[in-house]
């Protein structure tokens, strides 16, 4: 049976599905981060403290376990940071991302090729992960506690977000270019050309932006690796969770006759 009767989707239902997907994705990311991320965070904080206090101290920032320096100023216990705090952060971020995902899907659906609704959702999650997480990460990798100078936090944050913006804009342009060039070149050549264009642009921008070498001397390389892989994995679980759950809800919602 051809898909000629595909019901018109409403933005409202896409939004609800996006938020539900974000909730589930956030919970899954929380689970992954608890198991694979927290050990590295704990090790890094232990190192930070044994190294004689924070390299980034003096500005009120603390990892909440410094009784000698900040006895009264401990708004959140370390134990809660690693559990409830992590969960709240992951789920809140997941809900936010899920909402944006629903809106992005509303724009993308029917405008990028002839993919089915489910395939569009999964493609959006995959490309979204590359553009929003992977490419910015490769430019400015995630850092565990103890890595990073307090004095450069403003520029590093601004540059990280700038890289996300450049990458997302370049990805959207690449998507638009694929759609434009497909009638002339065919789908695959158009897609490959746009992908190469995207990679060239983000690589050049990443090369031009300043880089930071702020890993303290003696910081274990394996710990840095463990943390960064856990960070990439946490986001991968989040985006995959959102993509799959959204695709399932979408399919159920549109297959209903």
* Site residues (vs Zn ion, CB under 5 A): 145
Q: How far is the CB of 196 from another protein (least distance, A)?
A: 25
Nearer to another protein (CB atom), residue 46 or residue 103: 103
Out of Zn ion, another protein, none, what residue 136 binds, judged by CB under 5 to 8 A for its kind, is another protein
Nearer to another protein (CB atom), residue 197 or residue 233: 233
Closest residue to Zn ion: CB criterion: 145
CA distance readout (Å), 120 to 68, 104, 134, 252, 254: 54, 11, 20, 15, 14
105: left (phi over 0), alpha (psi -120 to 50) or beta: alpha
Q: How far is the CB of 223 from another protein (least distance, A)?
A: 13
Q: How many CB atoms lie within 10 A of CB 183?
A: 9
Q: How far is the CB of 23 from another protein (least distance, A)?
A: 12
For tokens 């004689």, the residue is 52
Out of Zn ion, another protein, none, what residue 128 binds, judged by CB under 5 to 8 A for its kind, is none
Out of Zn ion, another protein, none, what residue 224 binds, judged by CB under 5 to 8 A for its kind, is none
Nearer to Zn ion (CB atom), residue 146 or residue 166: 146
Q: How many CA atoms lie within 13 A of 35 on its CB side?
A: 8
Percent of residues in the chain assigned helix, strand, coil, to nearest 5? 75, 0, 25
Nearer to another protein (CB atom), residue 107 or residue 196: 107
What are the tokens at 91?
């789920």
């Amino acid at each position: 049976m051809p898909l000629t009767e595909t019901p018109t989707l409403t933005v409202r239902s896409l939004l609800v599905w996006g938020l539900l997907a974000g909730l589930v994705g956030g919970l899954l990311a929380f689970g992954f981060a608890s198991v694979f991320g927290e050990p590295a965070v704990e090790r890094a904080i232990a190192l930070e403290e044994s190294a004689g206090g924070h390299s980034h101290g003096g500005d009120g920032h603390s990892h909440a376990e410094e009784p000698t320096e900040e006895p009264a100023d401990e708004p959140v216990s370390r134990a809660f940071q690693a559990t409830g705090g992590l969960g709240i952060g992951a789920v809140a971020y997941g809900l936010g991302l899920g909402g944006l995902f629903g809106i992005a899907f509303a724009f993308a659906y029917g405008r990028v090729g002839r993919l089915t609704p489910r395939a569009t959702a999964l493609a959006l999650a995959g490309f979204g992960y590359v553009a929003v997480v992977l490419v910015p990460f490769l430019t400015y990798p995630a850092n565990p506690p103890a890595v990073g100078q307090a004095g450069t936090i403003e520029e590093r944050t601004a540059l990280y977000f700038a890289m996300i913006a450049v990458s997302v804009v370049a990805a959207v342009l690449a998507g638009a270019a694929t759609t434009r060039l497909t009638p002339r070149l065919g789908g695959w050549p158009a897609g490959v050309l746009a992908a190469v264009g995207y990679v060239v642009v983000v690589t050049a921008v990443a090369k031009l932006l300043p880089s930071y070498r702020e890993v303290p001397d003696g910081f274990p390389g394996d710990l840095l690796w463990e943390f960064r892989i856990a960070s990439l994995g946490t986001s991968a679980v989040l985006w995959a969770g959102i993509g799959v759950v959204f695709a399932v809800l979408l399919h159920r919602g549109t297959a209903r006759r």
